[in-house]
A and B are shown apart, each in its own frame.
Chain A
């Protein structure tokens, strides 16, 4: 009788310790899952943070490119007057050349690595009339190109915008005051 009771108690206690063990394993599994999940979340948070920082620095670099480019763009061969209006001039844009550049802009859209380039006459002010072959003489804006992307406010530089004109069959050089504007892409 005593022996049977003893074996009964023994089997019950081993059953209890087994259930306790299972519970511990379950607890540990949940804990490990929670820890893993925590690290995954932290990792994701860091990645998102880094990625937004990366976008920010990409935008900054683009902006810097536009800023440095605008000061020198007028002297690049596609824009500069060279000696076609007398002697060499600094920051002089050849409007005739630019109008033709505008017609073939597809080739050049990735050339300078910016989102858009525009020239706006400021003196004489011809308003917002866009320059085309028809309006060329009295227009106010030469929209060289603008990409269909989010862009930052443009950076600008004063230039003289010169072209060939004629009066009573006599050819002369006409130069006006303008601003050359370059906008960069907003990557954020």
Chain B
């Protein structure tokens, strides 16, 4: 008789408990999903906003432009790149800390007209950015370099023009030898045994055991600040834009010839070689054509750019 007592729950109670538990489960599940969706939305929004904030970095006469942005919480920015289609895409993925945990997100925000050079994953609250125009031989794009405030780069024995530029930038994160500390990332010019070595005459940057080749200052900085695969991918994207711009200038040359303004530049060769670039080591071969075209355009009565 006694054994029966503690099992005596009426059907009504049992029904209420089961349905109540089900409702609670649904409510908790929906709330979790809702928070997850909110985090994803925030990541997408932040990614898009970062990309849009980079618009004012388009240079005109300036050789370099610098700014910074601060996030309200600790943020991880994943720099991704794909080179499909006519221009490829700069992809930004953002993950922010909420309740002490990194929000999981797989939302990619893409921009066809941006070229960000940084490590694949950068983290912090404050990020420094500066941009430099990449001219090859005409302006192709503005390259954007992004550095978290926690990383400091120490330039050891740079050539005078780089030293002057670093001085002029007056960036908290870009230091010259005399202001460096032990923890800073050492960028050495024309000698090894550093975190990053820039070999100016050979035209390459050595970082984490990888070599990336450059032509001009803008790409040299890109090699310093970016991971090698980001650099190679962005370079291919730049060459795609160069290819399209070369064709645009060729069309323009034909169009303005009606006014008696003639220019006979080998833009088709430039377009073809840019399209055929497979890695940064091919840059030097394109550079011959670039130098030749630049010289011809500078001497022409009717400049195309």
Q: Which residues of A contact B (CB under 8 A)?
A: 21, 24-25, 28-29, 32, 35-36, 39, 43, 54, 57, 61, 64-65, 68-69, 71-73, 75-78, 80, 82-84, 88, 90-91, 94, 96-97, 99-101, 103-104, 107, 110-113, 164-166, 169-171
Contact = CB atoms under 8 A, between A and B. Distances in A.
Given A54-B41, A164-B302, A107 B86 contact: yes
B16 A110 contact: no
Pick the most buried of B20, B247, B251: most chain A CB atoms within 10 A of its CB: B251
B12 A25 contact: yes
Given A65-B55, A112-B113, A164 B261 contact: yes
Contacts of B113: 76, 111-113
7 contacts: A75-B59, A75-B60, A77-B141, A82-B138, A100-B252, A103-B251, A171-B260
A77 B140 contact: yes
B171 interface: no
Contacts of A166: 259-261
Interface centre among A25, A84, A88 (most CB of B within 10 A): A84
Nearest to A29: B15
A99 B258 CA distance: 14
Given A24-B12, A171-B259, 12 more contacts: A21-B11, A32-B23, A35-B23, A65-B55, A69-B55, A76-B113, A96-B252, A100-B251, A103-B251, A112-B112, A164-B256, A170-B260
A104 B27 CA distance: 53
Q: Which are the 3 A-B pairs with shortest beta-carbon distances?
A: A72-B58, A82-B305, A68-B55
B125 to A, nearest CB: 22
Contacts of B139: 77, 80, 82
Interface of B: 10-12, 15-16, 19-20, 23, 27, 30, 41, 45, 48-49, 52-53, 55-56, 58-61, 86-87, 111-113, 138-141, 241, 244-245, 247-249, 251-252, 255-256, 259-261, 301-305
Nearest to A133: B255
A100 B49 CA distance: 31
Main secondary structure of the interface of B (DSSP, over half): helix
Given A83-B303, A97-B252, A68 B56 contact: yes
Contacts of B261: 164, 166, 171
Contacts of A91: 60
A107 B247 CA distance: 12
B260 A169 contact: yes
Contact of A61 (B10, B11, B48, B111): B48
Given A24-B12, A77-B138, A164 B259 contact: yes
A39 B23 CA distance: 9
A57 B44 CA distance: 11
Contacts of B111: 113
Contacts of A112: 112-113
Nearest to A75: B60
Contacts of A28: 12, 15-16
A113 B305 CA distance: 25
Contact of A83 (B45, B49, B260, B305): B305
B23 to A, nearest CB: 6
Contacts of A24: 12
A111 B56 contact: no
A94 to B, nearest CB: 8
A164 B259 CA distance: 7
B123 to A, nearest CB: 24
Contact of B56 (A72, A96, A100, A110): A72
Given A82-B305, A100-B252, A164-B261, A61 B112 contact: no
Contact of B52 (A65, A100, A110): A65
